[in-house]
Amino acid sequence: MHSIMIGHLRDSVSLLPMEDLRPVYEFYRRLFELAPEAQPLFTREAGQQAKKFSDMLAWVIAHLEHADELRKEMRELGARHRGYGVTADQYASVGSALIWMFQHALGDRFTPEMEEAWLEVFAFISLEAERGAREAESTSIDP
Amino acid sequence: MVLNAAVVTRHVDRALSSALFCKAERQSRFLRFVVDAALRSPEATIKEFEVGMAVYDRRSDYDPRTDPIVRVEAARLRARLREYYEITPSDGVRIDIPKGRYVPKFTSVAAPQGQAGSDLSILLSPFRSLSPDPADQNFCDGLSEEVLHKLAQEPALRVVTQSVAAWLEQREGPKPRFLLEASIRRAGAELRLTLHLTELTNGGSTRLSNIYRATMNDIFITQERLAEEICSDISAALRADEVG
């Protein structure tokens, strides 16, 4: 991943007002507007879910220089998501809610370059998650 | 291979039936929509709004500025196509959707020949600027470096970089099989890069000839994007030669 792109990703996250996880709650609100059918897939209490998302965001940001680790983690995530019934098309709503969260929280400070960087990295991690789901499906043994 | 609507449509049918696309229903519709639109009207532009309405069932109050669904999906579709071409033997066609637009680009690539030669050496002639502004030649030099760096990551390729004149004077040593040349023209922030990949050992036949468009905002990002697109096209054009 290009260092300039990594800089845009880190800058955008550093600008998020995460003290009370408000942007994350807004992310989920937007996600369930876009994909109401996804809401039952999230069974955790809202605060726990927000904390989990925030931790995942921080982990991704910390591992941007380590594509292999990112790839491995996202494939494992995709394999777990497959078990919950997440479809390839639902990743589009997740990405859309993610970009919307930054737009909503940062306004004009969310630059086109930051958006471009997030589009790239989300395409990467969501396709790796899809691949993880496909691999899990191909190795699962039906009764 | 001559690209016509039937050939491209067959190629899309094949891609959409693959494991990468068959469970991605919206992405499949996205690809089909932009390909059909481009085949119907090659000169037409395709707007983000049109894709949102036609593929993502947005209503007339849809505002792409606040609803990035099409941009998110376009980035995913570009990545999905790249992955598809990395893992699928070529059928002679390649589709790319260059960043910053939704009109797909159709490229005729060499189909597998089974017994193709294994010499994948390329003479990379430093890219030239056709404009008088010295800054444009600096941009070309940087882009040449970026392309060289990316091509060098391909283990099957041997890349030599020197001017064509210097190469012609060279009498010793193995000759590269391909010649990669490119030049840029700039008008304001708009940039056009013309690229030719020629097979020197086959009577000078052209293996790849493309025009790339870009808008100069951030120089490094523009170089990175162009280099990525160029190297992806070169890899596709040469993939047949790696077989066997």
Q: State pLDDT tens for residues A66-124.
A: 988 999 999 999 888 877 777 888 899 999 999 999 999 999 999 999 999 999 999 99
Residue B168 in any domain: the answer is: yes
B143 and B83 in a common domain: no
B126 and B49 in a common domain: no
Domain count, chain A: 1
Distance CA(B134)–CA(B140), nearest Å, equals 10
Average pLDDT, whole number, for chain B?
84
B191: which strand partners? B186, B214
Sign of the Cα pseudo-torsion (A102, A105, A106, A107, in order)? positive
Distance CA(B26)–CA(B58), nearest Å, equals 13
CATH number of the domain residue A80 falls in: 1.10.490.10
B154 and B49 in a common domain: no
Residue B49 in any domain: the answer is: yes
B23 contact residues in A (CB cutoff 8 A): 87-88, 130, 134
**What tens digit of pLDDT does each residue of B169-210 get?**
554 556 678 889 899 998 888 889 999 888 876 666 788 888
Helix B219-242 vs helix A3-14: crossing angle, to nearest 10? 130
Q: How far is CA B26 from the centre of its chain?
A: 23
Nearest-Cα distance to chain B for A88, in Å, is: 5
Domain carrying residue A70: 3-139
ipTM: 0.92
DSSP string, B127-170: PEE-SS-HHHHHHHHHHHHHHHHHHHT-TT-EEEE--HHHHHH-
B125 and B92 in a common domain: no
The residue with tokens 């098309």 is A89
Residue B115 in any domain: the answer is: no
Distance CA(B207)–CA(A51), nearest Å, equals 53
**What tens digit of pLDDT does each residue of B109-137 get?**
875 554 344 567 888 888 989 888 888 88
Under the banding of pLDDT at 50, 70 and 90, the label for residue B165 is: low
A93 contact residues in B (CB cutoff 8 A): 69
B234 and B144 in a common domain: yes
Q: Is A40 on the interface with B (CB under 8 A)?
A: no
Task: Name the residue facing A124 among B19, B69, B79 (closest C-beta).
Answer: B79
Q: Domain ends where: B108, B134, B151?
A: B108
- Say whether B96 sits in a helix, a strand or coil: strand
pLDDT for B115 equals 36
Distance CA(B199)–CA(B201), nearest Å, equals 6
Task: Name the residue facing A119 among B24, B72, B218 (closest C-beta).
Answer: B72
B140 and B101 in a common domain: no
Q: Domain ends where: B79, B108, B137?
A: B108
B89 and B177 in a common domain: no
Residues 220-239 of B with CB under 8 A from A: 220-221, 224
B80 and B191 in a common domain: no
Domain carrying residue B219: 121-242
A96 contact residues in B (CB cutoff 8 A): 67-69, 72
B63 and B12 in a common domain: yes
